Amino acid sequence: MSDKPKIGISIGDVNGIGLEIIIKTLADPKIYEYCTPIVYGHTKVASFHRRSTDIGELNFNVINHPSQVVIKRANMINCWEEDVRIEPGQVTADGGKYAYISLQRATDDLLNGDIDGLVTAPINKDNIQNEEFNFPGHTEYLQHRDSKPESLMFLVSDTLRVGVVTGHIPISKVSESITTEKIVEKLKLMNASLHDDFWIRKPKIAVLGLNPHASDNGLIGNEEKDTIIPAIEEARNNDVLAFGPYPADGFFANGTYLQFDAVLAMYHDQGLIPFKQIAFESGVNYTAGLSFVRTSPDHGTAYDIAGKNLASEISFREALFTALHIIRHRKETAELNENPLIFTKLSRDRD
């Protein structure tokens, strides 16, 4: 039996680009040197999408449980028996139904310890809604399944890491949702992830303001003075090296982000727009603060190019390798925490 991590892959919306980027990623034989992938879907659906690519052959080894994997092969768990109507580029009820079945089965195996990590292909946050999935997105669903009070949507790349205080909520509710306690909690999650998952010994975190110009000393709102600055001060009292608040526009425009290990934005678009502008193809969405490792590409279903062999697999491949790096780092951190002197030396070497 191989000691390479077993990585579960949920297929996302069957009418989007999920299976196309999965197939293109798994067509690279080098993948199997680092992990054993398990796709949660159905071989018939995969065959449909393979025919729309220029991939010659990618034969899945069909299994019923992760314990049956064949190493150096792409493994598939058929999560349903019925035929599925596939309509590339269309938003359909079936697209959401089978995306959820794939995600639920993969998450079950993840929580049972049968797989070592999960990479999720893009879902449509609307058509996936049902009685069991009543969440704004993957992040909130997985946090619920893991019974965690908080998690952190953490966008990561080689040059930039961005987390958000508030995630998938209406912009009209952002201000009322930001509290000192919530910012401190997100900073602690980010700091712990940078240390344990990315092996940064003393992370430096920049905190963005909420208002234009970070309020200009209260001229444009009070959130900075009343909420954000006290959170930064409390975080620093808890050994988190947090700085700010910084005006978001100039912070990214003049490259100040390069001076920090990560950035905490106040809301979704404040952080994700610059992140995707700077690191779109190489960016990865990581859910920090959970007991397991989950990553995804930093893009959506891309219905407009589904079925046209135009989708790039770069972000999905980066998501897969990011999951593998974090799994390894977590394992090493757990082992080395038993000997702090060795951990300090090794983490200093990696700084």
Residue 339 lies in a domain: no
In a domain, 336, yes or no: no
Let me know if residue 95 belongs to a domain: yes
Closest CA to 203 of 155, 163, 262: 262
- In tens, the pLDDT along 97-133 reads 999 999 999 999 999 999 999 999 999 999 999 999 9
Residue 157 counted as domain residue: no
Number of compact structural domains in the chain = 1
CA angle 129-46-1, nearest 5°? 100
pTM strictly above 0.85: yes
The owner of tokens 């003075």 is 225
CATH number reported for the structural domain that contains residue 113 in this entry: 3.40.718.10
H or E segment to which residue 216 belongs: none
Closest CA to 117 of 284, 301, 337, 302: 284
From 187, 231, 201, select the one nearest 340 (Cα to Cα).
201
Judge contact between 324 and 35, C-beta under 8 A. Answer: yes
* Number of other CB atoms surrounding residue 34 within 10 Å: 15
pLDDT per 10-residue tile (average), the chain, 351 residues:
87 98 96 97 95 85 96 96 96 97 98 98 97 94 96 95 95 96 98 94 96 86 94 97 96 95 97 92 93 96 96 96 96 77 55 51
What domain range includes position 10?
A: 1-148
pLDDT in tens, 191-233: 999 999 999 989 999 999 999 998 888 888 899 999 999 999 9
Measured CA to CA, the distance from residue 73 to residue 77 in angstroms comes to: 13
pLDDT for the residue numbered 342: 56
Give pLDDT, residue 341. Answer: 63
Q: What percent of the chain has pLDDT over 70?
A: 96
Task: Judge whether 71 lies within some domain.
Answer: yes
DSSP state of 224: I
